[in-house]
Amino acid sequence: AQSVAQPEDQVNVAEGNPLTVKCTYSVSGNPYLFWYVQYPNRGLQFLLKYITGDNLVKGSYGFEAEFNKSQTSFHLKKPSALVSDSALYFCAVRVFDAGNMLTFGGGTRLMVKP
């Protein structure tokens, strides 16, 4: 069975510092991996995805993620955090069955302090 783990409930970063939000996955076969962001009382917004190709994927708002097959990880990164990046972040893996559903991690709350 496919699964996604986000080991940190919350990540605290000072504005201007680099940030990393961790994600590890467990799937059979090649994974499709995703990151989403959720602002308060809003739906989830797509940030980036890894399907195939370059292990470093660049997405919206300056975020990027690195696919590491040997460590089964897909950590989200940004070189310089903004206060406006404070939100809830979800990692997800695509399940290849009849529904082609996404399985989500539990979410990590990112707090960027001025």
Rounded least distance, CB 1 to other proteins, Å:
13
Task: Give 41 or 70: the residue with its C-beta nearer to other proteins.
Answer: 41
Task: Give 55 or 71: the residue with its C-beta nearer to other proteins.
Answer: 55
Rounded least distance, CB 16 to other proteins, Å:
27
Q: Which residues of this chain interact with other proteins, rule CB under 8 A?
A: 32, 34, 36, 41-46, 49, 51, 88, 90, 92, 94, 98-102, 104-107
Q: Provide DSSP, 37-99.
A: EE-TTS-EEEEEEE-SS-SEEE-GGG-EEEEETTTTEEEEEESS--GGG-EEEEEEEE--STT
Task: Give 51 or 56: the residue with its C-beta nearer to other proteins.
Answer: 51
* Contact present, 72 and 26 (Cβ < 8 Å): yes
